Structure formats: structure tokens, C-alpha cells
Amino acid sequence: MQLNLEHPDQAFYLRAADGVSARVNERQLDASFILSPDTLVESWPVRDVKAMTPQDVDAILALKPEVILLGSGATQAFPPAAVLAHCLRSGVGLETMTNAAAARTFNVLAGEGRRVVAAFVLAG
């Protein structure tokens, strides 16, 4: 059987993510960030999902997602209701999960050509 190495069609993809770091393409990131298939926004100022404000989501919404994946770190945590309401008013769904789960989900949705944006909170 012949095996072929496939490279994703998008500019950015996640190789790994946990609560303190992530690997985007071949780059190691140690601070919270936002990622779409064609955009990497480094140094997103959020350090705690539970302390997020609606304004923290504006940088994500600027990328025009149809769905937002919020990686909350090593464990699942949820943002305040005001953050969820801000997304709903903008017509965008927000799904919260661990960073590892958000990385896997991002790669699947991006590979399907979906307009997905993921935001990862890193405690590093």
C-alpha cells in the first residue's frame, strides 16, 4: 500500500494544542491566539475564559466566521452569558471545548471549507 503525505489546503492548521501551548503549522505558540484557515492573530489578550467580555469577541467576529470554536484551556470552562449573547446577536454560534478538542474540530471544519474561527486561551 502506498501512503501519501497530504497538506491541508488552508494556510494555517493546528498540529497540537493543550492548556499551555499550541503548534500552528510548524510554529510553537505560548500565548492566547485566534486562528482561521487563512489568518493567525497572535497575542490575543484573553487569559481566562470566565473573565471574558463581549469586546474580547470582536477580534474573532472581525474574521466573519459562521461558527466560533472557543478553546478554554486544558479543561472546559464557559464564558459569561454576555459573551454568548454578543455572539448570538451577531448571528454566530459559539462552541466551547478544551483546546485539544477545539484543535481537532477546527481542522475538520476547515478541511470541509467551513468559515470557522477558533480562539485558544493559553495559560503559558
Q: Whole-model pTM?
A: 0.91
Are 54 and 80 within 8 A, CB to CB? Answer: no
pLDDT of the chain, 124 residues: tens digit per residue: 554 445 557 899 899 999 999 999 999 999 999 999 999 999 899 999 999 999 999 999 999 999 999 999 999 999 999 999 999 999 999 999 999 999 999 999 999 999 999 999 998 6
List b or e across 93-109, with b for residues whose CB sees 16 or more CB atoms inside 10 angstroms.
Answer: ebebbbbbbbbebbbeb
Angle at 26 between CA 20 and CA 29, to 5 degrees: 25
Closest Cα partner for 120 from 10, 18, 37? Answer: 18
What are the grid coordinates assigned to 98, written together? 478544551
Domains of the chain: 31-120 (3.40.1230.10)
